[in-house]
Amino acid sequence: MRRSFLISFSSILLLSPLFISAQYQPTLSADNLSWKIAHQQLPGRIMGKIDVNPIEGSDYFDIYFYFTEEGSESMYAGKIREDISGGKLWYVEPDSESEKLIFDLELTVNDSFMNLGNPGFNMHVDSVYEVDGLKYIEFDAPTKWDEPIRFIEGAGPNTGLIWSWIYGGFMDPYAVCKYEDAVLVYANNNPNFIGCEFDPVSTSDFKIDQTLVYPNPAQDWLTIHIPGLPKKNTIYIIDVFGKLIYQKVTSNNELTLNIKQLSSGIYFLKIKGDDYSIYGQKLIINSSK
């Protein structure tokens, strides 16, 4: 009789909800996944996307980032794997084998989590709630999209799957919508968007300080001067299709660039300081070549 009681009691323990691991809706929920990813650049707000596909014979999925939805080439953006029972996502950046935990649905109020958009600083869980039966975890860390950082069951971080790689002053990504096999399965509820598109009357503009650039329009040479820049700065020139044309790290606050190789057209200059400051300017190039 005693043995029978022990077996029955063990069965009760195994079946009790206290001893059953949580099972969450997966983020990596199909073999053909994509997210619309809004990001902020000198031209303004841009809608890009990521494609996510399984790697054969592996637990990982490859990620490819497109600067714009149409007309831009894909950029390999690393790989990702998921633990559904624990509601966790691990991300590996390109040219790295080191995993980063980027998403965790087991967090509770006041728990800390590394703010991957601001490395070296933690954020804390402000609230945990459900929407339509799906778990949301909200942090005390803002985004530039008029809402805090959130983890969303089935959709991932509202900052996107590759937020630890492109987040910050250079990109500021936001996961707008998720698709499985080209079918919409998640849409944001953010005032900057109408469904999966930008709200054309949104008043939340991307603010960039003016950079002293001359001459502009320019032909062969371009001088950049910004007083008070941090000690180390990265200069980018980007074309209208989002392609990076020029990149240079400098500690000078005045620099003259040879732009003879650039074709005529509109470009965007961006300078990112090591203190996360951002400077930007539209460039007009009248090429002599």
Q: What is the pLDDT of residue 279?
A: 66
Q: Residue 259 phi/psi, 5° resolution?
A: -115, 20
DSSP letter string over 189-247? --TTEETTEE-TT-------EE-EEESSSBSSEEEEE-TT--SSEEEEEEETTS-EEEE
Determine the pLDDT at residue 133.
Answer: 93
- Report the alpha-carbon distance of residue 43 to residue 64 in Å, rounded: 22
At residue 160, the 3 state secondary structure works out as coil
* Residue of 211, 197, 207 lying closest to 268 (CA atoms): 211
Whether omega before 215 lies within 30 degrees of 0, making that bond cis, reads yes
d(CA 156, CA 75): 20
Q: Running DSSP on this structure, what letter comes out for residue 24?
A: P
Instruction: Write down the residue that tokens 């054969």 correspond to.
Output: 56
Structure confidence at residue 207 (pLDDT): 38
Confirm if 88 and 103 have CB atoms less than 8 A apart: yes
Provide the residue-wise pLDDT of the chain in tens; the chain has 289 residues: 434 333 333 333 343 443 344 589 999 999 999 999 999 876 678 889 999 999 999 999 999 999 888 778 899 999 999 999 999 999 999 988 899 999 999 999 999 999 887 777 899 999 999 998 999 999 999 998 999 999 999 999 999 999 888 654 457 899 999 999 999 999 998 888 878 888 754 433 333 444 578 898 999 999 988 666 556 778 888 776 657 788 888 888 788 999 998 999 888 777 776 655 556 677 889 987 7
**164: phi > 0 → left, psi -120 to 50 → alpha, else beta; which?**
alpha
Residue 74: which H helix or E strand, with range?
strand 74-83
Q: What pTM was computed for the model?
A: 0.64
The residue ranges of every structural domain in the chain are 33-198, 209-285
Cβ contact 79:55 at 8 Å: yes
Closest CA to 263 of 230, 228, 215, 219: 219
The CATH number of domain 209-285, selected from 1.10.8.60, 1.10.510.10, 2.60.40.1220, 3.20.20.100: 2.60.40.1220
The CA–CA distances, whole Å, from 35 to 7, 17, 32, 200, 207 equal 48, 34, 11, 20, 25
